[in-house]
Amino acid sequence: MKLYHIDRSGNLSCGILNLKKEVSIDMDTVIGKMFENNLKRYHKNGISVHGEHYYVNKINDMSFMIDIVFEYERLLNFPNNISRYESFFAFDKVGVLKFLSENQIEDYKIYEVESKYCEKHNMRLLKGNVNFIMSELANDYWNCTNRYNIELDNPLYEYLLQFPVHIIKEVKIDELK
């Protein structure tokens, strides 16, 4: 199966991508010390760019809170699943087209990517909706279920790729249609 990554940062190029061992945060601050403790405790092999982005830049954002709940649910009940902080995100062809049609993204590149191992999860379950208990949604996400029928008729599947990830080639959107 071919998988694709939507690069919004403009930082990708073809080749092999590995987990980051070094992160760009001041470890002498209180948040830095907490971050360093989390790294040593839960992410001994390093973190992905996504993981660093959420830990460092989204600390006061609802998406950070959602990711933390999902990560702790994974640690508690699904320790053999790939951490979202240690993975590279991709979509299949349908997912790329759906994601781009639903989001106003103007500057991006699409890359074909591959990994020896990946997991498929319904991205629609990553919600901060107060009507649902986030840990229940996280449980469904990791368990690949949908007990509460969240947007059942319109799932958006993301693939968590385990590192190392091979960035194969840039792909134009017209190639996916």
* Three-state secondary structure call for residue 68: helix
Taking only the tens place, the pLDDT of each residue in 71-89 is: 889 999 999 999 999 999 9
Higher pLDDT, 14 or 137: 14
Q: What is the pLDDT of residue 63?
A: 72
3-class DSSP assignment, residue 37: helix
Where are the domains positioned within the chain? 3-175
Overall average pLDDT of the 51-60 stretch: 69
Contact 88, 165 (CB under 8 A): yes
Radius of gyration of the chain (CA): 16
pLDDT at res. 12? 94
Q: Which of 161, 153, 157, 134 is nearest to 144 (CA)?
A: 157
Which sign does the torsion angle of CA 64, 151, 107, 46 carry? positive
pLDDT at position 97, please?
96
Q: Which residues 6+ apart lie within 8 Å of 43 measured at CB?
A: 51, 83, 85, 86
> Within a 10 A sphere around the Cβ of 82, how many other Cβ atoms?
22
| Site of tokens 């839960």 | 42
pTM confidence score: 0.88
